[in-house]
Amino acid sequence: MNIGIVCYPTFGGSGVVATELGKALGANGHRVHFITYNRPARLDFFSENLFYHEVTVSQYPLFDFTPYETALASKLVDVVRFEKLDLLHVHYAIPHASAAFLAKQILATFDIHIPVITTLHGTDITLVGKDKSFNPVVTFSINHSDGVTAVSQSLKEQTLSYFDIRQEIEVIPNFIDFTRFKNISREHFKKAIAPENEKIIAHTSNFREVKNTDDVVKIFHRIHKEIPSKLLMVGDGPERSNAEELCRQLSICQDVRFLGKQEAIEEILSVSDLFLMPSGSESFGLAALEAMACSVPVISTDTGGLPELNIDGKSGYLSAIGDVKSMAEKGIAILKDETILSQFKRNAHARAKQFDIKNILPLYESYYQKIIDKQIGDNL
C-alpha cells in the first residue's frame, strides 16, 4: 500500500505511535509518506520506503494566527495526487481529521477518492476535543472519516459519550517494538545513579498538568522514607518547575534527578525498578508500556485505558487518582522484597509482550485493507 501519515512530529505519544507505525509499515514493504510541519522526532534514519513531506505555512503579516490547517489540507491534496496514495491515516483529531476531510473534498473534484482513517489518541477527545469551541468540528470530522480507531476501549467509550458519533470505532491499542525496548545491561549507569544499590524509580512524561507530576514526587517521598531509593524524572514541560520546587520543600533533592528530554529512554528504563504514572487522565499509557517492555512494574492510577494495560496485582498496581498514600504503599510492597520484585518484573514484561508490534501491525494492515475495499465498493 501507498500510505500517507499525518501526525504531530514531536515526542508526544500520538506522534511516537504514528511514526513507529509508519516505520513498521515501511519495513513490511509498504510505502509511507509522513506529511507534517517537521521531520517526526522518531524518524531518525533513511529507508527506501519512507518519505517526508514538509508542510510550510506562509507567515504573512495579516495572520495573527498562522493557518496551519489550510496549509496542511493543500499539502495533502498535492501529495495524494502526485504520489498516488491509497490511504490517508491521520493521528490526533485536531486539526488533522478536519484538514483531511477538506483535502478529500478537494480531491473528489479531480475524481480522486481517497479513504481517510482517523486515530483518536486521548487528549484530542478527553481534554481538547471536549472544549465547546472544537466540539462541532471534532464530531463532524470523526463522523466523516472513512474509518476511526481509538487506542483503548475506554477512549472509544469516552468518545461515544462526549460526542454524537454515528461511526464505528475500531479499538487498536498502542504497541511496542521489542527490538528497541528491552532490558539492556547498563551497570555503570546504574552505579552512577544509585551507588549504594538504592532502588531506582522512574517517571517519564511531558510534565503537563494531566500527568500529576506533583503526585510522582509525593509518592516517591513516602517510598523514600521506607526504602533507600532514587527518583529519575525524565521529560520536560510546564509542571517541571512545580515538581522541582516540591522536591526542595520536601528536602529530597539529593535523591531526585530531573534529566530533561532523553532520546535513549530504554537505557533509563533498563536500570529502573518501578515506574510511576499517577495521571489524571490517560487513554492508554504508552510510557507505562515502554517501562513494562523493559521489565519495570508500574504503579498507576485506574483512569482511562490504564486498567486495560496494567494488570492490578500482576504487572503493577492501580489506585484512584490522587491517592498518593495507596500508590506509595503499593510501591513499597513491590520494592521491599526481592522475590516479589522479580515476579512483578517478569509479569510486567509478559504483559507488555501482548502489545508487541508484531501482533498489532497486522491489525492496522487488515483495517486499512477493509477501509480501502469499502471505498472501492462505494465508488463502483
Can you give the binding site for ligand GMT, defined by CB under 6 A? 12-15, 17, 92, 121-123, 126, 151, 174, 206, 208, 210, 281-286
Q: Nearest approach, Cβ of 303 to ligand GMT (angstroms)? A: 9
Judged by beta carbon, residue 205 or residue 295, the one nearer ligand GMT is: 205
Judged by beta carbon, residue 63 or residue 68, the one nearer ligand GMT is: 68
Judged by beta carbon, residue 12 or residue 199, the one nearer ligand GMT is: 12
> What angle do the packed helices 13-27 and 286-293 form, to 10 degrees?
60
Judged by beta carbon, residue 12 or residue 297, the one nearer ligand GMT is: 12
Query: Residue 231 pairs with which residues in a beta bridge?
Result: 201, 256
**Residues 120, 380: Cα–Cα separation, whole Å:** 29
Residue recorded with cell 515526542: 11
Q: Nearest approach, Cβ of 9 to ligand GMT (angstroms)? A: 11
Judged by beta carbon, residue 98 or residue 281, the one nearer ligand GMT is: 281
Judged by beta carbon, residue 206 or residue 301, the one nearer ligand GMT is: 206
Count CB neighbours of 49 within 10 A.
17
**Residues 252, 256: Cα–Cα separation, whole Å:** 7
Radius of gyration of the chain (CA): 22
**What is the b/e burial string over 338-374, where b = at least 16 CB atoms within 10 angstroms of the residue's CB?**
eeebeebbebbbebbeebebeebbeebbebbeebbee
Q: Nearest approach, Cβ of 18 to ligand GMT (angstroms)? A: 9
Q: Nearest approach, Cβ of 202 to ligand GMT (angstroms)? A: 16
**Residues 87, 28: Cα–Cα separation, whole Å:** 16
**What is the b/e burial string over 179-206, where b = at least 16 CB atoms within 10 angstroms of the residue's CB?**
ebbbbeebeeebeebbeeebbbbbbbbb
Judged by beta carbon, residue 346 or residue 353, the one nearer ligand GMT is: 353
Q: Nearest approach, Cβ of 151 to ligand GMT (angstroms)? A: 4
Q: Nearest approach, Cβ of 191 to ligand GMT (angstroms)? A: 31
The strand order across the sheet containing 169-171 reads 50-54, 31-36, 2-6, 87-91, 116-120, 147-150, 169-171
Judged by beta carbon, residue 304 or residue 331, the one nearer ligand GMT is: 304
Residue type, 72: L
**Residues 307, 53: Cα–Cα separation, whole Å:** 37
Query: Residue 68 pairs with which residues in a beta bridge?
Result: none
**What is the b/e burial string over 126-159, where b = at least 16 CB atoms within 10 angstroms of the residue's CB?**
beebeeeebeebbbebbebbbbbbbbbebbbebb
Q: Nearest approach, Cβ of 25 to ligand GMT (angstroms)? A: 17
Which phi and psi angles does 27 have, rounded to 5°? -65, -25
Judged by beta carbon, residue 5 or residue 107, the one nearer ligand GMT is: 5
Judged by beta carbon, residue 86 or residue 282, the one nearer ligand GMT is: 282
Q: Nearest approach, Cβ of 259 to ligand GMT (angstroms)? A: 18
Q: Nearest approach, Cβ of 12 to ligand GMT (angstroms)? A: 3
Which phi and psi angles does 176 have, rounded to 5°? -140, 145
Q: Nearest approach, Cβ of 173 to ligand GMT (angstroms)? A: 9
**Residues 80, 141: Cα–Cα separation, whole Å:** 19
